[in-house]
């Protein structure tokens, strides 16, 4: 069953390839949605997949790519949007 998570990642997560790495991880996991930088320095992700896929993505978000310093990951379930791919938004 497809679920939708809204995920916010805080810390040193911009300028460290976090969005690109998130896209690669989502693609590997078979997750659809998007990732974007927020003006406050956080990264925001909307992701759709089954519960196992989404839990694996959230687990990955806690460390992210090599140079990220993640301080907090917050996620909540929301209504499924029906994304067909995973993309990086500006």
pLDDT digits (tens, 9 = 90+) for 7-49: 999 999 999 999 999 999 999 999 999 999 999 999 999 999 9
| pTM exceeding 0.95 | yes
Is 42 a residue of the active site? no
Task: Please state the domain count of the chain.
Answer: 1
Is 37 a residue of the active site? yes
Report the distance separating Cα 66 and Cα 77, nearest Å.
27
What is the residue range of 31's domain?
3-89
Which position among 6, 19, 28, 40 bears the catalytic label?
Answer: 19
Dump pLDDT digits (tens) for 46-78: 999 999 999 999 999 999 999 999 999 999 999
Q: What is the CATH number of the domain that holds 74?
A: 3.30.70.100
φ/ψ (deg, to 5) at 56: -65, -40
Which position among 6, 37, 40, 42 bears the catalytic label?
Answer: 37
Report the distance separating Cα 22 and Cα 41, nearest Å.
16
């Amino acid at each position: 069953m497809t679920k939708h998570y809204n995920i916010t990642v805080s810390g040193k997560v911009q300028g460290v390839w976090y969005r690109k790495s998130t896209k690669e991880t989502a693609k590997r996991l078979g997750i659809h949605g998007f990732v974007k930088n927020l003006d406050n320095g956080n990264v925001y992700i909307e992701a759709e997949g089954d519960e196992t896929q989404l839990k694996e993505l959230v687990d990955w978000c806690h460390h992210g790519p090599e140079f990220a310093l993640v301080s907090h990951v917050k996620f909540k379930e929301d209504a499924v949007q029906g994304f067909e791919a995973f993309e990086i938004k500006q």
